Chain A
Amino acid sequence: MRPPRFSLMTLTILVWVCAILLSCGCGSNLRSQVALRAIADQAKKDCLTVGKKCPDMVKGVDAACVTARSTCTAALECVQAVSTAENRIQSLQETLAAGGDTMTKTIEAKGSEAGARAICKSVGGWNGNLP
């Protein structure tokens, strides 16, 4: 009978090496927060720029006001998602700093970051200026 190709010990070492490589390879959380903030700033700037053309955002019915309301509603959706992601990343950072278990919080933070980026890009084409 042929012996198994990988012994348990080899597999254990592989898992450790993968874990170490993964922890080194992940980007900085602060960098994600800064990138998300850039997206939120971009959305807000667009909303305020378009909003200047509308004298009354609540009751205005002309094309400028319709466009402004649409842009600002999209910006609101985007920035709300960014805010959630920022708070989750901050919560992950607090857990990391305290040396706690970060698996669930990492999944939440990365998931909400990806969601926020997708929402902002789809509703307003905002993707920030940072990678």
Chain B
Amino acid sequence: MEIFLSALRTLWAAIKAQGASKAASELPQGAAQVKAVNEDLAEISAELVRGPVVSSPPAAPPK
């Protein structure tokens, strides 16, 4: 029974180490997702406060 428990502990440690390694490798891609969502948030906030689009008058032809 002790051997079985020891094997389970070893398996658990291996799974935890694998999880840590996977999480570390995924960190940059996760940071990219966070950044993209923050950009979405900024665009929506800007859209909500967007005023009338003022078109600039055509430039006068050179004399």
Contact = CB atoms under 8 A, between A and B. Distances in A.
Nearest to B47: A51
Interface of B: 1, 4-5, 8-9, 11-12, 15-16, 19-20, 22-24, 26-27, 29-31, 33-34, 36-38, 40-41, 43-45, 47-53
Given A43-B44, A86-B33, A20 B27 contact: no
A67 interface: no
List of 9 A-B pairs having minimum Cβ-Cβ separation, nearest first: A96-B23, A97-B24, A33-B33, A30-B26, A97-B23, A56-B52, A44-B40, A16-B8, A57-B50
Given A9-B1, A96-B20, A97-B23, A37 B45 contact: no
Contacts of B41: 40, 76, 79-80, 83
B30 A57 contact: no
Contacts of A40: 36-37, 40-41
Interface of A: 9, 12-13, 16-17, 19-20, 23-24, 28-30, 33-34, 36-37, 40-41, 43-44, 47-48, 51, 55-59, 69, 72-73, 75-76, 79-80, 82-83, 86-87, 89-90, 93-94, 96-99
Contact of B20 (A47, A73, A97): A97
Given A9-B5, A82-B37, 12 more contacts: A30-B30, A37-B37, A57-B50, A57-B51, A58-B49, A58-B51, A76-B44, A83-B41, A86-B30, A86-B37, A93-B27, A98-B20
Contacts of B45: 76
A113 to B, nearest CB: 12
Given A16-B5, A23-B15, A55 B34 contact: no
